[in-house]
Amino acid sequence: MDPISISFSFVGFVIFIIAAVSIIKSTNHGAIGKFLWFLVALLLPIVGPILWFLLGRGKVRN
């Protein structure tokens, strides 16, 4: 593999891990919602976590 492919793979993995932690810690969704968002993030490698950060987190409660 060339260095660019490795770099993109690493960035995608880091984004997924950050999204997964954010999904797990979210108080705006129940267990089923978290599971579904986790599947979206897992099955859509770059797009899924971006969708989570743009649409899934919802309004942050104080």
Question: In the chain, where are the structural domains located?
Answer: 27-62
pLDDT for 60: 52
pLDDT for 34: 93
**How does pLDDT run across 9-58, given as a tens digit for each residue?**
999 999 999 999 999 999 888 899 999 999 999 999 889 999 999 998 87
**Do residues 60 and 49 make contact, with C-beta atoms less than 8 angstroms apart?**
no
Distances (CA, A) of 32 to 8, 28, 44: 30, 12, 18
- 58 vs 6, more confident: 6
